[in-house]
Each structure stands twice: as C-alpha cells, then as structure tokens.
C-alpha cells in the first residue's frame, strides 16, 4: 500500500517538473509551420499531459488504498 502511494506522489513530482519542458516543446512546435486545427490540437498537448498524469497518479493511489481496505469500491 505504501509503495503505491509513494509511487503516485513520485509520478506527480516528476510530472510537475516535466510540465515546463513539455510546454516549451509545444510552443516551439507551434512556432513552426503549423496552422489551423493542427495548431489548436498541438496547443492542447500540455493539457492532455497534465490530465493523463493526474489520472495515472489517482489510479495508483486508489489501488494502494484499495489494497489497504480503505476504499470499498
């Protein structure tokens, strides 16, 4: 249980540190020859990165709590 919780927190810390790198890479990619819908979708990459990291870390934390018997669903 503790390993799962620590794993979830480590994923959050690493993702928060990688977020500016992802945002800079997206801004650099948009500075090129990308227009229209492709530029819009590329701009949402940072949001999708943040949502996926949040989803994975929450799933790991819930799995740890379920193993401990603290979550019953």
Task: Look at the pTM and tell me if it is higher than 0.85.
Answer: no
Largest CA distance in the chain: 53
* 30/56 Cα distance (integer angstroms): 27
Domain boundaries, the chain: 2-68
pLDDT per residue rounded down to tens, the chain (73 residues): 777 778 778 888 998 899 999 999 999 988 888 888 988 999 999 999 999 988 988 888 788 788 878 777 6
pLDDT at 49: 93
């Amino acid at each position: 249980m503790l390993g799962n919780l620590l794993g979830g927190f480590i994923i959050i810390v690493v993702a928060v540190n990688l977020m500016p790198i992802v945002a800079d890479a997206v801004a650099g990619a948009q500075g090129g020859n990308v227009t229209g819908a492709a530029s819009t979708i590329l701009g949402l990459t940072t949001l999708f990165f943040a949502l996926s990291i949040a989803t994975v870390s929450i799933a790991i934390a819930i799995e740890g709590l379920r193993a401990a018997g603290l979550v019953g669903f």
